[in-house]
Amino acid sequence: MINPSHNIFKKAWLRLCFFSLFSACLYGQTVAQSESETDSLIKIVETYPHDTNTVNALYKLSIGYLYYDKSEASKYAFEALDLSKKLNYKKGKALSYAAIANIGNVYGDYSKAVEFYLKAIEIFEELNDKLTLGKLHGYLGDVYGFIGGNDFNPEINRRSGLKHHLKSIEYLQECDNKPELARAYSSLGNAYVIVDSLDKANYSYNKSLDLLKEYPDIFTSIAANTGIAGVYYKQKKYDDAVAKYQQCLSGIPYSGEFDNNISIILHDMSMSFLELKRYNEAIQALDSSLAISQRIGDVRGIRMAYSGLDNVYYAMGDYKKAYEAFNEWVTLEQDLLSENTQKQINELQEKYESEKKELEITDLNLKNQKLESKIYERNIIIGLSTGIFVLIILLILLYIKHKQTKELKKRSELEHKALRAQMNPHFIFNSLNSIQRMFMEGNFDIANDYMGNFGQLLRIILENSGKSHISVKDEINTLKLYLEIEKMRTDETISYEINVDPKIDILNSYMPPLIIQPFVENAIWHGILPNDSNGKIIIDILKKDEKKLICTITDNGIGINHSLKMKKNDNHISKGMKITRERLNNIHSVIAEELETGGTKITVLIPVTK
């Protein structure tokens, strides 16, 4: 399932930074407006002469209703603008434009926000109001940041956002307003994250926190700290991100005023838990976020929580719960689309009384019906697709499980066969005969040494048969012990040399056990001993790369072609060689070639792990 809510899930932390900062910038104005003060402002509007005081009162009313009632906030903002134009009150017009832009900013009408912020900035530049310009450039930078994720030309918008944030810093530094500068640096950090300049983002957030040491502000602190957590997330430092989010939560006072911030922090922290595969903690965080959003009636927060639950349950493989969460998200999206369409219809009904109004309303109703029809069809398609997808996944998992079981069974059989091949009767019988011969000839010391080596080799082979990998050093030691036994048994008619590449970490590199010995045994029995003269075996172990070794076994025996001709009249089958090839699981892992100088060279490609 490719979740349509993926973008909401990935960008939620940026929304938290923005709304924390935006709330901080307006905090002094909105919190101060108690019910009695709102009544006083309304009284000014209704009873006093329509002058600049009335404009200021209308502006404050618009700001006061900004987060609670879009309709009232818009009404007072446009009334302030109309009166300012009549009075030719330049600052009033600028404040009204800013208020209208704020409404577009908070409620997602970003094109309107850009248009009216630019109008406000133009007038405040004429008034040389640097403090307000610093704030407005910061707001405009945030808006461009949001547009960057949804526009056809996101890179230009993101760069524009960064430019306005830097302009905001410039104005506020000239004013030497450190509280506002702290907020601006936090916003600048968001802009740097959007353009993937994470080091600069981190610097900006920490700069904000440094300024806050002298001028504490809980909203800006939340924004800066969650910004740092967001940087950790983008850097894939998920443990650090979780720690930072938890630090943010511990620093928030227990007050309903911060419920929205807590809800979004919990949601964002769940993303890091998801990446860490700490699924239960991710679900707990999302359930808490959902409960808070439902309590405060934050539909956006509810949608984000269901989107997050969909992602977590999908990652866990619980497709039933993932689909249930996805359906909840789709239902809320459908309700939101229908609500927005209905709002547009209501606005048209209030603005127009002409035939044109009726035509536009009819058109919107048709669009709404088509939208509902498309959503219904999409739900059916999503349901069927999800069912088919889940079925395919289950079949794939069953196939993989069956294949793994089959491979494990085959590997186990090969390991047991390898053990039996190493312990072949010829080797044991000849070794025991050699020990008996040495005792009979009175070579007791040599016989005791031989018997000790033989017993040690059997013990090592039995121990290693239960392991899937042993260190390269242990394999070399086993090989040396085997060669010493063969050397003693053949009355020193063979000699050997083992060369190991110094680049190989023989203690911490691991390979399958009993891989090289069958090839060495084959070289002795079918290459050197039939030659009736002293022979030599040279074993070179080289490092090919981090995952493979190259081992060559070179002897000066009769050569592979002569040996094969002799084997045609012999019933002996080299089981060890055959099984080892199968264990290496690649027909190209073993290459045999006859040397021009006589003898045979075997090249074996051996997989290693750390």
Say what the pLDDT of residue 25 is: 46
Say what the pLDDT of residue 297 is: 80
Q: Residue 216 phi/psi, 5° resolution?
A: -60, 140
User: Is 291's pLDDT higher than 80?
Assistant: yes
Question: Which of helix, strand or coil describes residue 237?
Answer: coil
| Whole-number average pLDDT of the chain | 80
Cβ(159)–Cβ(186) under 8 Å?
A: no
Among 338, 256, 270, which Cα is nearest to 305's? Answer: 270
Say what the pLDDT of residue 444 is: 77
Q: What tens digit of pLDDT does each residue of 309-341 get?
A: 989 999 998 888 888 888 888 887 666 555 544
- The Cα–Cα gap between 134 and 168 comes to 4
Say what the pLDDT of residue 492 is: 85
CATH class of 129-208: mainly alpha
User: Is 24's pLDDT higher than 80?
Assistant: no
Cβ(604)–Cβ(590) under 8 Å?
A: yes
Judged by average pLDDT, the poorest of 90-104, 268-282, 348-362 is: 348-362
Q: Residue 506 phi/psi, 5° resolution?
A: -65, -20
Average pLDDT over residues 59-81: 87
Which of the two residues, 288 and 468, has the higher pLDDT score?
288
Average pLDDT over residues 446-452: 80
Say what the pLDDT of residue 359 is: 60
Say what the pLDDT of residue 393 is: 87
Confidence band (pLDDT; 50, 70, 90) for 77? very high
Confidence band (pLDDT; 50, 70, 90) for 471? very high
Tell me which range, 27-36, 294-303, 442-451, 561-570, is most confidently predicted by mean pLDDT.
294-303
Cβ(85)–Cβ(97) under 8 Å?
A: no
Which of the two residues, 107 and 32, has the higher pLDDT score?
107
Average pLDDT over residues 82-110: 89
Say what the pLDDT of residue 146 is: 75
Give residue 160's identity as a one-letter amino acid code.
S
Domains 28-123 and 423-607 share a fold: no
Say what the pLDDT of residue 476 is: 92
Other beta carbons within 10 angstroms of residue 523's beta carbon come to: 28
Q: What tens digit of pLDDT does each residue of 199-244 get?
A: 998 999 999 999 988 888 888 888 889 999 989 999 999 999 999 9
Q: What tens digit of pLDDT does each residue of 504-537 get?
A: 999 999 998 878 888 888 888 888 888 877 899 9
User: Is 571's pLDDT higher than 60?
Assistant: no
User: Is 19's pLDDT higher than 50?
Assistant: no
% of the chain beyond a pLDDT of 70:
80
Domain ranges of the chain: 28-123, 129-208, 318-422, 423-607
Cβ(533)–Cβ(573) under 8 Å?
A: no
Say what the pLDDT of residue 162 is: 87
Q: What tens digit of pLDDT does each residue of 382-405 get?
A: 878 888 888 888 888 888 877 777
Pick the CATH number of 423-607 from 2.40.110.10, 3.40.50.300, 3.30.499.10, 3.30.565.10: 3.30.565.10
Say what the pLDDT of residue 9 is: 40
Average pLDDT over residues 271-299: 90
Among 324, 295, 300, 302, which Cα is nearest to 312's? Answer: 324
Confidence band (pLDDT; 50, 70, 90) for 428? low
% of the chain beyond a pLDDT of 90:
26
Average pLDDT over residues 564-586: 62
Average pLDDT over residues 154-179: 86
Which of the two residues, 439 and 133, has the higher pLDDT score?
133
- The Cα–Cα gap between 86 and 438 comes to 123
- The Cα–Cα gap between 112 and 143 comes to 10
Confidence band (pLDDT; 50, 70, 90) for 409? low
Cβ(217)–Cβ(243) under 8 Å?
A: no
Average pLDDT over residues 586-593: 77
Other beta carbons within 10 angstroms of residue 283's beta carbon come to: 20
Pick the CATH number of 28-123 from 1.25.40, 1.10.10, 1.20.120, 2.20.25: 1.25.40
- The Cα–Cα gap between 387 and 374 comes to 20
Confidence band (pLDDT; 50, 70, 90) for 4? very low
